[in-house]
């Protein structure tokens, strides 16, 4: 797992470097510090959390810079921005293998589940003249630890 992690981080650094040279961006202290934090942060962290973690290690980094750097990381494909039910966006490292999300209405936790849907859905969409390049699927329900569903409920 340490190896896989190291490989994922190396890939991230490669993507960042490529994006930087392609867009004439600069290699700054803050960006290196923020990237360091982002690569270590738990999946589905909010910007608030990423800012807090960054400032815990590097107090002089401004919140705005974290915002802007996270946006850069999304632009170069290292981070994926997601919106679950919340008011605020959440971020996770882009994975080569797609996965879906299980959102527990009991405890609110977001878990991940293996990709069961990509192939099916891409094919279905293609018959509609739509070329799928990515997908995002959230399943709402109750995890093993939480109470079973009450009764009839709407969609999300």
Positions that interact with DNA (CB under 7 A): 24-31, 46-48, 60-65, 67-69, 71, 87-89
Q: Is 81 in the site for its own copies (CB under 8 A)?
A: yes
Where b means 16+ CB within 10 Å and e means fewer, 37-50 reads bbbebebbbebebb
Task: Please give the C-alpha separations between residue 110 and each of 32, 107, 129, 145, in angstroms, as whole numbers.
Answer: 28, 9, 32, 13
Tokens 């329900």 belong to which residue? 141
**Of residues 62 and 126, the one with the C-beta less far from DNA:** 62
| Cβ pair 84, 90 in contact under 8 A | yes
Q: Shortest approach of its own copies to residue 58 CB, angstroms?
A: 26
The residue range among 30-38, 40-48, 51-59, 79-87 that interacts with its own copies, by the rule CB under 8 A, is 79-87
Q: Shortest approach of its own copies to residue 60 CB, angstroms?
A: 29
Structure tokens at 14: 């490669």
> Considering only residues 49-78, where is the footprint of its own copies by CB under 8 A?
74, 76-78
């Amino acid at each position: 797992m340490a190896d896989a992690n190291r490989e994922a981080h190396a890939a991230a650094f490669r993507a960042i470097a490529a994006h930087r040279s392609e867009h004439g961006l600069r290699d700054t202290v803050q960006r290196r510090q923020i990237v360091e934090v982002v690569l270590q942060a738990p999946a589905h962290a909010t910007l608030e959390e990423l800012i807090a973690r960054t400032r815990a290690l590097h107090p002089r980094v401004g919140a705005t810079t974290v915002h802007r750097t996270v946006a850069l990381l999304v632009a170069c494909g290292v981070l994926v921005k997601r919106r679950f039910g919340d008011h605020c966006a959440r971020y996770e490292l882009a994975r080569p293998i797609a996965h879906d999300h299980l959102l527990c209405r009991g405890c609110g936790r977001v878990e991940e589940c293996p990709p069961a849907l990509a192939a099916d859905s891409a094919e279905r969409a293609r018959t509609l003249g739509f070329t799928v390049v990515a997908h995002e699927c959230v399943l709402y329900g109750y995890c093993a630890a939480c109470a079973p569903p009450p009764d009839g409920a709407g969609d999300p």
